Chains A and B, each alone.
Chain A
Amino acid sequence: MKTAVADTVERGPAVPRRRRFAPAGRASIVDRVALAIAGLMVLIALVGPLLAPHDPYSVNLGQALHAPSADHWFGTDANGRDIFSRVLYGARVSLLATVIVIAVATLIGTIVGTLAALGGRVADEVLMRICDIGLSLPAIILALGLAAALGPGLRSAVIALCLTWWPGYARLVRTLVRDVRDAEYVEAARTLGVSTPRLVFRHVLPNSLDTLYVQTTLDVSAVMLVISGLSFVGVGAQVPSAEWGAMIAGAAGNLTNGWWAVVFPGLAIMLTAVSFNLVGDWLRVRNDPTLRGRRS
Chain B
Amino acid sequence: MTPLLELDDLRASFPGPDGPVEVLRGVTMSVAAGEKVALVGESGSGKSVTARAVLRLDRDASLSGRVLLDGKDVLGLSERAMRDVRGARIGLVFQDPLASLNPVMTIGWQIMQPLLIRGVKKKEARRRGVELLGRLGVRDADRRFDDYPHQFSGGMRQRVVIAIAVIAEPALLIADEPTTALDVRVQAQVLTLLRELAAERSMSVLLITHDLGIVAGFADRVVVMRHGAPVEQGVVDDIYARPQHPYTRGLLASVPRIDDDPSRRLSTVDEAALEGEVR
Contacts and interface: CB of A to CB of B under 8 A. Distances in A.
B94 A188 contact: yes
Nearest to A188: B100
Count class of interface residues, chain B = 20 to 34
B168 A192 contact: yes
B240 interface: no
Contacts of A193: 82-88, 114, 117-118, 168
The CB with the most chain A CB atoms within 10 A, among B103, B118, B150, is that of B103
Instruction: Describe A's contact surface by its main secondary structure.
Output: helix
A290 interface: yes
A292 to B, nearest CB: 9
A287 B104 contact: yes
Interface in A135-156: none
Given A193-B114, A198-B117, A185 B100 contact: yes
Interface residues of A, number: 23
Nearest to B85: A193
A117 to B, nearest CB: 15
Given A190-B57, A192-B168, A290-B150, A184 B96 contact: yes
B100 A184 contact: yes
A183 B99 contact: yes
B198 interface: no
Contacts of A194: 83, 87, 113, 117
A289 B164 contact: no
A189 interface: yes
B148 A293 contact: yes
Contacts of B150: 289-290, 293
A290 B147 CA distance: 11
Given A188-B94, A191-B55, A207 B117 contact: no
Interface in B58-82: 82
Interface string A22-62: 00000000000000000000000000000000000000000
Query: By CB atoms of chain A within 10 A, which of B85, B102, B118 has the most?
Result: B102
Interface string A177-191: 000000111111111
B229 interface: no
B99 A185 contact: yes
A9 B256 CA distance: 48
A293 B86 contact: no
B151 interface: yes
Contact of A191 (B92, B99, B102): B92
B63 to A, nearest CB: 16
Contacts of A203: 102, 105
A62 B92 CA distance: 81
A74 B14 CA distance: 71
A290 B104 CA distance: 8
B86 A207 contact: no
A202 B57 CA distance: 19
B93 to A, nearest CB: 9
19 contacts: A183-B99, A184-B100, A187-B94, A188-B94, A188-B101, A190-B86, A192-B114, A192-B164, A193-B114, A193-B117, A193-B168, A194-B87, A195-B83, A203-B102, A207-B104, A287-B104, A289-B104, A289-B148, A290-B148
Interface of B: 55, 57, 82-88, 91-92, 94, 96, 99-105, 113-114, 117-118, 148, 150-151, 161, 164-165, 168
**Nearest 6 A/B pairs, CB to CB:** A192-B87, A193-B87, A188-B100, A184-B99, A193-B83, A193-B86
